[in-house]
Amino acid sequence: MKNQYFGDVNDFLKYDLVLTLVEKLDNTKAFTFIPMLTPNDDSGDGGLIKYDGGRRRDLERFLKRCIRDMYRNILNLRFFMASQDIEYRPYRDAEYFRHEDREEYFDSIDPEMLKGSVVLIDPDNGLEVKSMRKRNGHKYLRYGELRRIYDGIDDDSLVLVYQHIPRVKREKYFSAIAKRIRDATGAYPLCLSDNRIVFFILAKGALDRAWQVIRRYAHENGYAASRFDSASLQGLSPKHWGQRGDVTRDH
């Protein structure tokens, strides 16, 4: 996550999705944000700021006000979440994530932050790739780090990982990542995508209910949702797959 992205269309989706899950899951009443915050750059990413947030106007107004006031910073979420009926648990939202310090970063997460919560992990790019090196490692979440967080959640928690989509066939790409997640964690993920970004979602006791919420959320908003199982990871299509038209990605 970079502060220069704050308030764009991807941010609206991620926070709207989190709030929806918190509202709809009976025993999940907190939002834990692990931003993996990195410094702004000169790429110009984060420019998709014209969008209709009609399904959650208070969030849209808040994000666009931050953009208008030229204060794009995730620290602002503390004020917005205070107005919602949830417990907000931000982790190091004012500190930059560094590749060389990643072990300490994940070791220092308080286990209580992962209980009864929707846990959003927000790397710049997503899960690790073959080209991950020291110079770009800060942009990625390692599968072993995802496993550690998944192992720490309870039956009332979910883990969401933010992931960019490269210009490849969606079903094959999503299935390949889902298989790696399954190999790393032992869990079959759900996913939800607007065809620019995708969230991979893991749960223990709350998985079936989370799938009901995500499937309905996708249907109501024109997104794609899928639920992976052993058959889908052996070359078949994931369950309940749906897809919008091709859309290019921002940041």
Q: What is the pLDDT of residues 74-109, one digit of tens each?
A: 999 999 999 998 999 999 999 999 999 999 999 999
- Rounded Cα distance, 193 and 88, in Å: 24
Please indicate, yes or no, if residue 34 is contained in any of the structural domains.
yes
The 10s digit of each residue's pLDDT in 35-48 is: 999 998 877 666 78
Q: What pLDDT was estimated at residue 216?
A: 97
Inside any domain, residue 245: no
Both tokens assigned to 220 = 């109501």
Q: Tell me the per-residue pLDDT of 8-62, one tens digit each, with 9 for 90 and over.
A: 999 999 999 999 999 999 999 999 999 999 998 877 666 789 999 999 999 999 9
The answer to whether residue 72 sits within a structural domain is: yes
Structural domain count of the chain: 1
Question: Is 103 a member of any domain?
Answer: yes
- Rounded to a whole number of angstroms, the CA Rg of the chain reads 17
Closest C-alpha among 172, 162, 100 to residue 136: 100
Q: What is the pLDDT of residue 248?
A: 28
Burial 21-38 (b: 16+ CB within 10 A, else e): bbeebeebebbbbbbbbb
pTM equals 0.91
What distance in Å separates the CA atoms of residue 59 and residue 28, rounded to the nearest whole number? 20
pLDDT in tens, 187-208: 999 999 999 999 999 999 999 9
Q: Is residue 202 part of a domain?
A: no
Is 160 within a domain? yes
Q: Would residue 83 count as lying in a domain? A: yes
Please report the beta strands in the chain, taking only residues with DSSP state E, as ranges in sequence order.
30-34, 87-90, 117-121, 126-127, 140-141, 158-164, 190-193, 197-203, 224-227
Mean pLDDT of the chain: 91
Q: Which domain holds residue 139?
A: 3-172
Q: Which of 141, 136, 154, 187 is nearest to 28 (CA)?
A: 154
Enclosing H/E stretch for 152: helix 143-152
**pLDDT per residue as tens digits for the range 146-190:** 999 999 999 999 999 999 998 888 888 999 999 999 999 999 999
Query: Which has the closest alpha carbon to 25: 117, 149, 87, 122?
Result: 117
Average pLDDT for 132-141: 93
pLDDT grade for 249, boundaries at 50, 70 and 90: very low
Residue type for position 93: D
Tell me, yes or no, whether 120 lies in a domain: yes
What distance in Å separates the CA atoms of residue 83 and residue 79, rounded to the nearest whole number? 7
DSSP-derived pairing of the beta strands 190-193 and 126-127: unpaired
Q: CA-based angle 76:82:88, to the nearest 5?
A: 85
**In the prediction, which pLDDT does 235 show?**
59
> Is the predicted pLDDT of residue 250 greater than 70, yes or no?
no
